[in-house]
Amino acid sequence: MTQARVRALRSIEIGVTNLVVAQDFYTRVWGLTPVEEANGVHYLRGTGRFRHILSLRRLAQAALVRIVFDAGDPGAVDALHAQLIAHGVAASEAPRPLNNPGGGYGFGFKDLEQRNLAIVCDVEDHARALDDPDRPTKLSHVNLNSASNDATSQLLIQALGFSLSDHNDKFRFLRCNADHHSLVLGFNEDATLNHIAFEMPDLDAVMRGAGRLRDHGYPIEWGPGRHGPGRNVFCYFCGPEEMPIEYTSEMQQVDDGYRPGSPADWKWPPRRVDRWGLSDPPTRRVLRAQSLFRFTPDAYRLDSFSSPASGAGGFQVCAQAGDRPQLTFLSRFFC
Ligand SMILES: [Fe+2]
């Protein structure tokens, strides 16, 4: 039988302590557009057709709520659910019609490292894309730290149909469509968030966006530069409550003929951290932010929610913007 596959990274939901500040930042500064609010959750779209790509809710501590993937139809959703159960995933609700804004059909589950993930289809998306050269189009990828990279990668590949695009000494890059990667899994000690990346229309949009962020008091924490695996352009920032976020563009498009690289293929010359040789290393501030945020402990059911456990996520006094460590101190948190 043909393996069912997710076909896109659709959206991410995050919890913040100050919803007013976050809503203002992700709309007026970051460039998303409000769609609707329901049950205290604010839904924001990019210029692409997905109904929303980011949703915000207020929590006692900042945290990740869930990552949502798109599937082709109810049959694919059912098959993906069966593949997850066959792979040993125990914490999963049954596929069902959804009551969330946009409706659709799907289910939520926890992966092997207790992340809240969901698969949906038939969501009532927008009839047309917006035409705006300065706003994010969609989620590009989510980078997740992982203490069980081998097992989690196998789950994503065998149960959700992801393919390995590349592998270096810090990350595995996984794709579910022509984009070189939609998920990145780190080799770490914990299952926290590394960063959330939003696709911009082109390189100029990344650069103009970086200028807009700087104008509003959010300095560039890493970049501009061009990554190795994926060849995408990048600029990293710390958003409200230190959320690590990236503007990116020009993601490499690949197909089944792409040969995955290995760590030996992705060695940088001394002191270089991007293809151009232009970028300084990431700041201490963003390196620290790239391990702050956890998933809420029991929010995998799509219609349910409870507060995160004590100590989950949150932010504290941060390092000074622009404070960059020596290259020799840089860890496994950037690619
Ligand atoms: Fe990234």
CA of 74 to the centre of ligand 1 (A): 30
pLDDT band at residue 2 using 50, 70 and 90 as cut-offs: confident
CA of 90 to the centre of ligand 1 (A): 30
Helices (H), the chain: 19-24, 74-86, 149-160, 203-215, 284-289
pLDDT tens-digit series, residues 281-315: 999 999 999 999 999 997 888 875 534 333 333 33
pLDDT tens-digit series, residues 217-270: 999 999 999 999 999 999 999 999 999 999 999 999 999 999 999 999 998 888
Give the contacts of 264 (CB within 8 A, at least 6 positions apart).
Answer: none
Enumerate residues with CB within 5 Å of ligand 1 (an ion). Answer: 197, 246
pLDDT (average), residues 94-98: 96
User: Closest Cα partner for 246 from 258, 257, 260, 236?
Assistant: 236
CA of 333 to the centre of ligand 1 (A): 10
CA of 51 to the centre of ligand 1 (A): 23
pLDDT tens-digit series, residues 193-219: 999 999 999 999 999 999 999 999 999
3-state helix, strand, coil in the chain (%, to 5): 20, 30, 50
CA angle (66, 194, 301) in 5-degree steps: 10
C-alpha 268/C-alpha 287 separation (Å) is 19
C-alpha 265/C-alpha 268 separation (Å) is 9
pLDDT tens-digit series, residues 145-164: 999 999 999 999 999 999 99
CA of 325 to the centre of ligand 1 (A): 20
Using CA atoms, how far residue 283 sits from 6, 12, 22, 151, 327, in Å, is: 34, 25, 22, 31, 10
Is pTM beyond 0.75 here? yes
Percent pLDDT > 70 in the chain is 90
Task: State the helix-helix crossing angle for 149-160 and 74-86, rounded to 10 degrees.
Answer: 140
Strand arrangement, sheet containing 183-186? 163-167, 171-175, 183-186, 138-144, 193-199, 244-249, 233-238, 222-226
CA of 292 to the centre of ligand 1 (A): 16
CA angle (163, 15, 145) in 5-degree steps: 35
CA of 78 to the centre of ligand 1 (A): 30
Asked whether residue 329 carries a pLDDT value surpassing 60, the answer given is: no
